[in-house]
């Protein structure tokens, strides 16, 4: 198979939209604009954090085999580790300096010492060291190369995820390990396998998968107490971890099924696909845009939660892309590592 699968870009676009919305939601709560103990907030926060980064991890896993096979292990590792490590350092410092300069206006103030403590990731930056760990492990395991390797890799990833489900921090490489099973399952299945499954399901099967998985996800969110994979906001018990594991998988499957259907709806496919192709740009820059939006709205005396959620999410997405367009030629090194790092 050659080329891109449009539904994966759409899934990634939905994931990054969910990530931006989740950060806007918690920013509004931290600013005191919404009651953090209200039922509406708690259910919405749990629903978003249950699935958005897990979906992002699964979409990343689908791309591994093609990239690794094309480049070879050594070149693949140098490129991926160099790129992720570079942008982690650059954006950790950029975000930290802005939080330091805007102390008093942002929810999370920083000191100069904390900015340089790069072994303690701030905000969303933990994801980059996590995916560096996954890159090394999947390059060694190559779970798609045989059934035995696939079975052992999935068993190990599932054990790691369940053991680390809801545990978070404080050091790099130790955060986000609850996501391992999503990344490794997708890497084992490969993009080719995913596309073949889509073809076999066709429209009717995809709709059925969407309805069933969305129902399971919604029922567990509404009636259970699931723990999310990458946040300590929720209690960790055997029951909550089990519910969270099933709920997160149901949510990921539902979104991929929805993405397959939206791939046939041209306006939605174009917009979400574009967001998906620019998802890393948005991931790096969106917290700057949403924080600026919240500060501006508060200074204008606008405290409506709905306005903050909609405007914050939209500007987080659009502002990140605008910043990328404005800097990609003159400051390309803030978005990608230079060639001497990646080879």
Q: Residue 109: name the closest of 118, 119, 120, 122 by CA.
A: 122
Query: Taking the model in full, what pTM does it have?
Result: 0.93
Find all residues with CB under 8 Å of 12, minimum gap 6, and list them. 55, 56, 59, 275, 276, 277, 279
Rounded Cα–Cα distance for residues 213 and 45 (Å): 19
pLDDT for res 225: 92
pLDDT for res 99: 80
Helix 266-277 with 238-262: angle, nearest 10 deg: 120
pLDDT, one tens digit for every residue, the chain (343 residues): 445 689 999 999 999 999 999 999 999 998 889 998 999 999 999 999 999 999 999 999 999 999 999 999 999 999 999 999 999 999 999 998 888 877 656 556 678 888 889 999 988 999 999 999 999 999 999 999 999 999 999 999 999 999 999 887 789 999 999 999 999 999 999 999 999 999 999 999 999 999 999 999 999 999 999 999 998 777 889 999 999 999 999 999 999 999 999 999 989 999 999 999 999 999 999 998 998 898 899 889 998 999 999 999 999 999 999 999 999 999 999 999 999 999 8
Report in angstroms the alpha-carbon separations of 272 from 13, 64, 216, 267, 326.
5, 22, 25, 9, 21
| Structural contact between residues 273 and 13, judged by C-beta atoms closer than 8 angstroms | yes
pLDDT in tens, 14-45: 999 999 999 999 999 988 899 989 999 999 99
Find all residues with CB under 8 Å of 217, minimum gap 6, and list them. 50, 51, 247, 250, 251, 254
pLDDT in tens, 60-84: 999 999 999 999 999 999 999 999 9
Take residue 143 and report the two structure tokens written for it.
Answer: 């779970």
pLDDT for res 107: 59
Report in angstroms the alpha-carbon separations of 213 from 210, 259, 265.
5, 13, 21
């Amino acid at each position: 198979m050659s080329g891109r699968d449009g539904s994966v870009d759409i899934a990634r676009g939905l994931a990054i939209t969910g990530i931006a919305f989740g950060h806007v939601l918690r920013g509004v709560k931290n600013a005191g604009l919404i009651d953090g103990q209200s039922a509406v907030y708690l259910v919405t926060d749990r629903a978003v954090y249950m699935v958005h980064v897990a979906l992002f991890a699964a979409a990343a896993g689908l791309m591994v085999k093609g990239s690794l096979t094309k480049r070879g292990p050594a070149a693949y590792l140098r490129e991926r580790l160099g790129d992720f490590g570079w942008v982690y350092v650059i954006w950790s410092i950029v975000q930290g300096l802005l939080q330091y300069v805007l102390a008093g206006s942002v929810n999370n103030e920083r000191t100069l010492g904390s900015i340089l403590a790069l072994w303690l990731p701030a905000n969303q930056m933990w994801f980059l060291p996590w995916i560096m760990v996954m890159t090394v492990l999947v390059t060694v395991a190559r779970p798609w190369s045989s059934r035995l390797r696939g079975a052992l890799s999935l068993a190990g990833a599932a054990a790691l995820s369940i053991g680390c489900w809801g545990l978070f921090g404080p050091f790099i490489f130790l955060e986000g390990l609850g996501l391992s099973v999503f990344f490794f399952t997708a890497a084992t299945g490969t993009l080719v396998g995913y596309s073949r499954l889509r073809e076999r399901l066709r429209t009717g099967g995809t709709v059925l998968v969407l309805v069933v998985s969305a129902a399971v996800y919604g029922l567990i969110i509404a009636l259970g107490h699931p723990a999310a994979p990458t946040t300590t906001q929720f209690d960790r018990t055997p029951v909550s971890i089990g519910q969270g594991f099933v709920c997160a998988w149901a949510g990921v499957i539902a979104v991929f099924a929805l993405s397959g259907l939206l791939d046939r709806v041209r306006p939605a496919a174009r917009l979400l696909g574009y967001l998906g192709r620019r998802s890393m740009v948005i991931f790096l820059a969106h917290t700057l845009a949403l924080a600026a939006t919240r500060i501006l709205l508060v200074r204008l005396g606008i405290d409506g939660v709905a306005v903050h959620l909609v405007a914050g999410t939209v500007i987080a997405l659009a502002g990140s892309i605008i910043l990328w367009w404005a800097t990609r030629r003159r400051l390309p090194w803030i978005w990608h590592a230079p060639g001497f790092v990646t080879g």
